[in-house]
Amino acid sequence: MTFASNSLVSGQTNFNRYMPVGLPGMMSGMGSHQTYPHTNTVSALDVVTVIPPATVDNSALYTLSVNGATVSYTTDSTATTAELGAGLYAAIQADPVVYGLVDASLNLTNSVITLTARTIDFSILATTNVADRTNDIAIAKTTTNSHNLIIPFGRFVGRQSFYPRDPREGTSAATLIDLVSGYEVLGVTLSSQATEKVGRFGNAKDGYAFGYVMNVLKNSGTYKGVWVEAVDPDLVIGDSPNIAVSVGNQGKITKIASGNLSVANNVKIISGTEQSFGRFIVLCEVRF
């Protein structure tokens, strides 16, 4: 909306000022709605595999260092891959420093040891005494640690089947929808004071930081609807709703069907596109 001064006084200039009709994730109207708490906790731990050689040096010292902490095993005179794998695995479990950094598992079929970081922010740096061995251990990183950043307000979030989930409550980890299949759509992230948890004043962000619980709208109920961030500048009432999955637009609403996730059975666009502090928003009924 715009507004102007009603009566000019000497020296005053008439002016217009834009006021947004809503904010992403803000409800419109009054009534009751259905929300669930879901967590912004989707992440991956660092994973490294330690692969003993097919031919193992006899009576040889093999060492494995994990971020500076070292364990070792000395093979016997008839060394085998299974012997080396089991020996190093036992050494890892017995060392309080190394085992405090990583969890370890041993594949009894191929003697490969898998090291998994115990915390999300820990990156595994594993090395061996390669210069001392004819047949050395191979090390490969199979997963690099990662986690969600901020999940903005007014976006659709969902869960995949492997996400942690509370079987009693139905709540789970959730993330912005970035694929056209494999997700159960949970609803829209509602705006809240979570922005204060991310940063204050000029550093504040409009969204839920990693590790925090999100208020997710499952059903707009008797409210008129919820303002959802949109891709398109020209949406109109009745446009067919789809959830955008492209990078930068994940979880936004769009009328473009190709390459996006249709939610026509659960979402209704009930306004045209509006602007809200540089972002496009549209009012939607949500019924999941």
Residues 237, 253: Cα–Cα separation, whole Å: 13
Residues 30, 173: Cα–Cα separation, whole Å: 29
The reply to whether 20 falls in a domain is no
Q: Are 252 and 24 in contact (CB under 8 A)?
A: no
Please list the pLDDT of the chain residue by residue as tens digits (288 residues): 444 545 666 766 655 556 788 899 999 999 999 999 999 999 999 999 999 999 999 999 999 999 999 999 999 999 999 999 999 999 999 999 999 999 999 999 999 999 999 999 999 999 998 766 778 899 999 999 999 889 999 999 999 999 988 877 778 999 999 999 999 999 999 997 655 556 666 666 689 989 889 999 999 999 999 999 999 999 999 999 999 999 999 999 999 999 999 999 999 999 999 999 889 999 999 999
The reply to whether 9 falls in a domain is no
3-state secondary structure string across 88-117 = HHHHHHHCHHHHHHEEEEECCCCCCEEEEE
Number of independent structural domains in the chain: 2
Q: Are residues 169 and 269 in the same domain?
A: yes
DSSP state of 25: T
Q: Are 181 and 218 in contact (CB under 8 A)?
A: no
Q: What is the pLDDT of residue 1?
A: 44
The reply to whether 13 falls in a domain is no
Residues 127, 66: Cα–Cα separation, whole Å: 7
Q: Are residues 261 and 125 in the same domain?
A: no
Tokens of 219: 């059903």
Residues 23, 241: Cα–Cα separation, whole Å: 19
The reply to whether 22 falls in a domain is no
- Domain with 73, as residue range(s), is 44-143
Among 108, 143, 178, the domain boundary falls at 143
Q: Using CB atoms within 10 Å of the CB of residue 226, give its burial: 0 to 12 exposed, 13 to 18 middle, 19+ buried.
A: buried
Q: Using CB atoms within 10 Å of the CB of residue 34, give its burial: 0 to 12 exposed, 13 to 18 middle, 19+ buried.
A: middle
Q: Are residues 62 and 107 in the same domain?
A: yes
Among 143, 174, 203, the domain boundary falls at 143
Among 116, 143, 170, the domain boundary falls at 143
Cα 102 to its chain centre, rounded Å, is 22
Q: What is the pLDDT of residue 167?
A: 78
Residues 123, 137: Cα–Cα separation, whole Å: 20
Tally of CB atoms within 10 A around 85? 23
Tokens of 143: 């997963």
Q: Are residues 62 and 31 in the same domain?
A: no
CATH of the domain at 58: 3.90.1160.10
